[in-house]
Chains A and B, each alone.
Chain A
């Protein structure tokens, strides 16, 4: 199988490390002994492979570099947030001193400069950390650009702004391999689509906020997109699509389970809430099954997480105030143990089924 993304390269590098350690143990135990030539060939092959990965994907060859990488990722996120905030406050500080023409020029110039900077860094920064940081600032600049233009010229608010934000977020995400920007791009796209659906019958663009059902279709489309368009070349993108899609389904279902008035369905609120509560449990169970069946840990985790949330909220709804506090938490703890037992059973079954693979 050809390696095409960073995750695969990292996994292969890890497997090489495990193989070498096990080989050392086998040799010490006298089970296996490689000749000098065989050892040299294996070593040369592995070095060639690892150097190639290092050059293309900036992988971590040791646990020390892996910890440092994690620190760099955290620093990138914090740096991006800090730089975006700095940009916002810089603009705010001097904003009032500019004429309308100067304000427009500053807004467009900042967007263009940050965009150019992102792509220049993308070309020269093999690690990608600085490029991702610049991309976040570029995205923030563009959002600020559109919002402030609306403010200066008293433009009627509309959901149309979410479309270019989504497109720009996705372009930067794919150019810089940034999962955070992918989340933002997809979020904007879902909001734009939900607003479009919500205003189909002539309602205002912001009506979707009070109609969680408008999120369901766009979120489902996002969930199934990786099945239609392979994201294999982009590290972790497929999981981001699935998680964003699932959140876009679960959060509205959770809202509707306790806020029936927000539904489009013309039934009583109690009926709608009951239906969404049952639907939420079934959906979470289906997602857990899908996660296990497709061996997709992110899908499984979201499914388990929401199953627990639905269970917890339902128990609060039913038992809080009825049972004494100690008994309520005892029942809650008991339910957590039950979920654990259920998941362990699923895991054991899964191990038996795929154990040989």
Chain B
């Protein structure tokens, strides 16, 4: 999320609702303010000492230069790790379906679950929304290129 906020009288800043929800910020929650090279971090404050995870994250911020800056202002935050070693879904059956039906669905978006076509449409939203309506939450949604499309050479 990138949003411009305005500091009000007394140094008050109203955080967007989505940010408050994501980080568990509720009214009267104490937070820790941590200065970095390019700005500040707000972290919910607990009675416990700073965790090793947060300490490591702070070191990452410093080591990575905290994203990209333009004219000395940090505008793009560096990524940080939320989770590792999550399960990886085998999509080989989706690949098989795509190879078998490439000509038939060229130029369309398809939503696939295994070797089953869940939905298709002319836009990503159309196919993904139809898949969700069909109760398939993790359908793979891809644009089917024509077999005549020249090989990819970057943008």
A binds B: no
Which A residues are within 8 Å of any B CB, using their own CB?
none
